[in-house]
Structures are given as structure tokens and as C-alpha cells.
């Protein structure tokens, strides 16, 4: 069985698709699973067991680009895939496997793609399902009952890669590493305030003076990370914009503790089983939680939350402002309590 997966466009969604990959990989079968992914999420799938090849294809967001999709579909025809699992819900994402002539095309009911998807899954009515289960459902025929428990996402630890990245960045191999991820691509209603992150960093530096504290994120988040470092009054390593996603995965895999917002890097930390604290504001940890027994969630669940908005519609951002650095620090200490005995090798 040759399977192609059309990847989602968000890092966190890519991580949450890993249990689906594991369910599609039949034990003992000579199957092949490839993933068609945009460049910014490709490293996530390269860190998954059972993925044979990641085919990188960049598509401009919101544009049909029919000519480019037609050429990509023609290039895929010779691979003779038996089925394709389409994770995004857009019509555009289902177009390539249809044009490539892949016989079985699996996906959830999305926007105007009744002919493009021929094994259609209907979303369950009511509340938003957890994303891991939402994707995992595609491994089974429509209407089939789900297993009682879907496994948590898992990414591979590459010990040699961790060492290479730490050495390139001038970080000490043997020092405890605490990673703070202050960004969230979705919007400010998912970003814990910079002053709170700075206060947390100061608490970490005082409690563990031997630790290396790293700020990790994209280049767009570098000014915010610079502000955090200045406000903290301690030496923080601002690596926002200085690492590839592959390197960020390696750094998180080497961490003794991680604190993040509800972001792609939160899901990476969970899939690498790192002790972590996830701060939630406008989003819902029941829908996209960090799926790890070593993760703790800070969420106030105010009357106005979750609203799933990019910016606070009420203008006060209480769902994040009222989560104190002391509370997050206490949760981090509890998450890290058994770290010495259980951390993977670096």
C-alpha cells in the first residue's frame, strides 16, 4: 500500500497528525507513507517514524495556482499511490491528488470538494473535537467507531543532532536548558505578555543559576524576545529567528523544561515528552492540548474564553494578563520534578 498524506499548514497541526501516520502504518506490512508538505512544516514530518519521504512543495496561501498544482500532480502520477489522505479542509488541498489520479482520496467534508474527495468523513456535531482524534479518524472507514484511546503524538529524538545544534549556537552541552517560546503565530490573544515572560525568566534564573535560558521562535518574534531579555535583568539567549525548525526541534528535545503559549512549538515539546507548561488564552486546551503526561496547562477559562479570536474582542486580554508568572513557575517546577531521572540523553 502506497499512501500520500497532504500535510496541514501549521506546525502544531502537523505534530498532531503523527498518530494518524502511526495508525496508517500497518505492522509488518511493506507499506510506504510519503508526505506532501510546505517547507515550513516539512521538518516535523521528517522527525516521524514511518514517514518514508517528505515531498516539499510551496503553495502561496489563499491562491489557487492551478498551473503549479497541475505540474505537481503530473510529477506524482509516476509514484502510483493507492490512496491519499488530505488533512486540510480546503478545496485547493484536494485538487492535487485528484489531478494525480490517486484512486482513493480520503478527507473530512470541507469546502466544495465532493468530487475531489471520494472517501468523505463528516465531522461529528457539537463541540470541536480534539485535533488528534479529528485526524486519526481518517485512518478508518467513515462511520467506523474510533479506538477507545488514540496514542499521543511522538517525534524522534536525534541525540547527535542535539549536540550539533548546541555546539553551533555556543550552548554548553551539560548545562540544564530551559526553553521559553513567547510567540504564537495566530495572534496576540494567544501570547502571554512579554512582562510576564520576563518575570518568569528571572524566577528561573534565580532558582537555577546554572541553567541556560533560551528564547526560541521566529524572526518576527525577535523584537518581543529582545524586550523580554531586557526586562528580565538576566542573561537570556535570544535565538528567535536564528534557528531553522529542524534546529528548534533539536533544542526543545534537549531541554530540561519548556514554557510556551498554545503554539506549534508547544506541540513539538509535548511530542518530545519534555517537561512543559503551556499557557492558554483565547484558545481551548480541550481542543488542542499538549498531549503529554509531562505537560501542565495554565488556563483561566474565564466567561469570555475560549473565544478563538486573534485579538481580544473586549480589549482587556484578561485570559492571559491574569495568569501570573509565579503560577507558571510553580507549574514548571512540578513538571520538572522528575527530570533528572527521566530525561533522554543529550
pLDDT per position as a tens digit, 145-162 = 888 899 999 999 999 999
Number of domains composing the chain: 2
Predicted pLDDT of residue 112: 77
Q: Which of 81, 110, 139 is the last residue of a domain?
A: 139
Nearest to 106 by CA among 2, 4, 1, 30: 4
Residues of the chain predicted below pLDDT 70: 59-64, 124-127, 338-346
**The 257-261 sheet, strands edge to edge:** 237-238, 212-215, 177-181, 257-261, 276-279, 295-298
Predicted pLDDT of residue 30: 81
Predicted pLDDT of residue 339: 52
Predicted pLDDT of residue 62: 58
Query: Which residues pair with residue 105 across a beta bridge?
Result: 84
Residue 120 in any domain: the answer is yes
Query: Which residues pair with residue 86 across a beta bridge?
Result: 6, 107
Q: Which of 87, 111, 139 is the last residue of a domain?
A: 139
Shared-domain flag, residues 249 and 329: yes
Shared-domain flag, residues 183 and 275: yes
CATH of the domain at 256: 3.40.50.2000
Predicted pLDDT of residue 186: 84
Shared-domain flag, residues 206 and 337: yes
Shared-domain flag, residues 117 and 212: no
Residue 151 in any domain: the answer is no
Residue 210 in any domain: the answer is yes
Shared-domain flag, residues 270 and 166: yes
Shared-domain flag, residues 38 and 177: no
Predicted pLDDT of residue 26: 80
Predicted pLDDT of residue 97: 96
Predicted pLDDT of residue 102: 97
Residue 153 in any domain: the answer is no
User: What is the value of pTM for the model shown?
Assistant: 0.93
Question: Which residue carries 507548561 as its cell?
Answer: 277
Shared-domain flag, residues 181 and 284: yes
Q: Give the DSSP letter of residue 57.
A: -
Residue 284 in any domain: the answer is yes
Residue 301 in any domain: the answer is yes
Strand 237-238 and strand 212-215: pairing?
Answer: parallel
Predicted pLDDT of residue 65: 78
Predicted pLDDT of residue 127: 59
Residue 96 in any domain: the answer is yes
Predicted pLDDT of residue 126: 59
Cα–Cα–Cα angle for 154, 157, 162, rounded to 5 degrees: 145
Residue 150 in any domain: the answer is no
Shared-domain flag, residues 132 and 189: no
Shared-domain flag, residues 111 and 188: no
Q: Which of 96, 111, 139 is the last residue of a domain?
A: 139
Shared-domain flag, residues 175 and 314: yes
Q: Which domain holds residue 163?
A: 159-342
The 10 Å Cβ neighbour count of residue 64 is 12
Amino acid at each position: 500500500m502506497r499512501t500520500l498524506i497532504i500535510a496541514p499548514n501549521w506546525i502544531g497541526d502537523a505534530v498532531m497528525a503523527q498518530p494518524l501516520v502511526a495508525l496508517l502504518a500497518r505492522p509488518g506490512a511493506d507499506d510506504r507513507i510519503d508526505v506532501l508538505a510546505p517547507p515550513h512544516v516539512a521538518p516535523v514530518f521528517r522527525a516521524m517514524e514511518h514517514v518514508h519521504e517528505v515531498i516539499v512543495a510551496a503553495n502561496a496561501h489563499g491562491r489557487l495556482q492551478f498551473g503549479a498544482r497541475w505540474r505537481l500532480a503530473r510529477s506524482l502520477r509516476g509514484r502510483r499511490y493507492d490512496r491519499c489522505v488530505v488533512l486540510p479542509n480546503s478545496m485547493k488541498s484536494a485538487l492535487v491528488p485528484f489531478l494525480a489520479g490517486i484512486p482513493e482520496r480520503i478527507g473530512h467534508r470541507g469546502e466544495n470538494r465532493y468530487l475531489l474527495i471520494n472517501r468523505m468523513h463528516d465531522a461529528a456535531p457539537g463541540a470541536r473535537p480534539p485535533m488528534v482524534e479529528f485526524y486519526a479518524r481518517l485512518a478508518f472507514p467513515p462511520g467506523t467507531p474510533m479506538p477507545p484511546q488514540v496514542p499521543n503524538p511522538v517525534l524522534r529524538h536525534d541525540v547527535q543532532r542535539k549536540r550539533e545544534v548546541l555546539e553551533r549556537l555556543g550552548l554548553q552541552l551539560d548545562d540544564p536548558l530551559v526553553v521559553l517560546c513567547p510567540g504564537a503565530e495566530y495572534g496576540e490573544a494567544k501570547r502571554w505578555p512579554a512582562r510576564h515572560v520576563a518575570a518568569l525568566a528571572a524566577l528561573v534564573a534565580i532558582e537555577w543559576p546554572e541553567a541556560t535560558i533560551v528564547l526560541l521562535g521566529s524572526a518576527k518574534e525577535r523584537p518581543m524576545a529582545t524586550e523580554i531579555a531586557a526586562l528580565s535583568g538576566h542573561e537570556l539567549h535570544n535565538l528567535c529567528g536564528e534557528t531553522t525548525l529542524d534546529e528548534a526541534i533539536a533544542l526543545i528535545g534537549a531541554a530540561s523544561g519548556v514554557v510556551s503559549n498554545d503554539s506549534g512549538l508547544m506541540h513539538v515539546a509535548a511530542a518530545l515528552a519534555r517537561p512543559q507548561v503551556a499557557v492558554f488564552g483565547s484558545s481551548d486546551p480541550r481542543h488542542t492540548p499538549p498531549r503529554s503526561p509531562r505537560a501542565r496547562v495554565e488556563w483561566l477559562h474565564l466567561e469570555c474564553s475560549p473565544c478563538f479570536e486573534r485579538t481580544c474582542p473586549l480589549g482587556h486580554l484578561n485570559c492571559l494578563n491574569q495568569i501570573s508568572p509565579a503560577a507558571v513557575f510553580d507549574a514548571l517546577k512540578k513538571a520538572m520534578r522528575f527530570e533528572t531521572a527521566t530525561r533522554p540523553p543529550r
